[in-house]
Structure 1
């Protein structure tokens, strides 16, 4: 057994590992894609509602930023599918997995920003309360905990030294 096999904890070739990692990545992307596409779809309908005309300039700006973030997140999270389709059969799967993983990470960050901006807009319009900032910060901290802190803690704690 090589040092690399010991570190990975599996007996697989580079191609087998790339195939496994690709399958895992696509399953993860499916979950995120569904969420961002539903959110983005709802965002696209807001501008056609009568209440949109009554929004303040600041709220309209927040809306536009949120739509652009949602569009960007959608692009990044659909990117791995296009990448796979365009490089399939070219024997570059390990590199494709790395690129798709980066796109997914960017997409998740953009999804985080989209959800946060959406929450800001909705709470500003729904409540006009001064506590909006505190609620948004609390939810953002929760997202950061769930999406980054806990996974990084688990990775660090359970990594083979």
Structure 2
């Protein structure tokens, strides 16, 4: 069935399934990162690190924890509102949680790169690694997609203008 032949409920169901699939990918990564960051505290070397690295570590853990919360919240919302006719609300909220969750994940990944840079080489080189990581995540995850998004014109039904009926819109 083409997207043009989908009912509104079928479209919402497909959109929610696609979103939940995307979240599964991000959730696995952030949960592994969170576990890694937690395990660092239990190493012998952690007792000898300076305050700057400890604070950076704590802030990075907090960003990772926020990521876990935000990227798993859509599944909880879906489960709590299951069969209540709220699929469109769930998709709207889940989209917002996902975008913010990706932002906090990018911050956690940047902090992790900074931490590893501090432990391995230290100084301005570590900060440079962190800046490069932050710019890289921001560019790949937000700026480039937003630049592509602004090239599209979306009609009132959420389909790109100029897409003939029956052709996929490549959402």
Structure 2 length as normaliser, TM-score? 0.84
How many matched pairs?
153
**In the aligned structure 2, how far is the partner of 1:143 from the partner of 1:21?**
25
Shift of 1:157: 2.5
Name the residue aligned to 1:120: 114
Partner of 1:78: 72
Pairing of 1:79-98 with structure 2 (within 5 A): 79-98=73-92
1:78 is paired with a residue whose SS is helix
> Which residue of the partner structure matches residue 37 of structure 1?
31
| Secondary structure in 2 matching 1:21 | helix
Give the secondary-structure state (helix, strand or coil) at the position aligned to 2:99: helix
- State how far apart, in whole Å, the 1-side matches of 2:64 and 2:132 are: 21
Asked if the contact 1:14–1:94 (Cα under 8 Å) also holds between the matched residues in 2, the reply is no
Cα displacement string for residues 64-112 of structure 1 (whole angstroms, at most 9, x for unaligned residues)? 1111111111011111111110000001101111111111111111101
Identify unmatched segments of 5+ residues in structure 2. 154-159, 162-171
Q: Please state whether the residue corresponding to 1:10 is helix, strand or coil.
A: helix
Can you give the 5+ residue segments of structure 1 that lack an aligned partner in the other structure? 1-8
Is 1:137 the counterpart of 2:131 in the alignment? yes
Deviation at 1:11, TM superposition (A): 3.6
Structure with bigger helix share is 1
Alpha-carbon distance, 1:144 to partner: 1.4
Residue 48 of structure 2 corresponds to residue 61 of structure 1: no
Residue 134 of structure 1: how far off its partner (Å): 2.0
**Paired residue for 2:157?**
none
Partner SS, residue 88 of structure 1: coil
Query: Where in structure 1 do 4 or more consecutive aligned residues deviate above 6 Å?
Result: none
Q: What is the Cα-based RMSD across aligned positions, in Å?
A: 1.4
CA distance in structure 1 between the aligned counterparts of 2:94 and 2:152, rounded to whole angstroms? 24
Equivalent residue number for residue 101 of structure 1: 95
Query: Which deviates more from structure 2 when the two are superposed, residues 126-135 or residues 60-69?
Result: 126-135
Report what 1:21 is aligned to: 15
CA contact under 8 A between 1:79 and 1:103: conserved in structure 2? yes
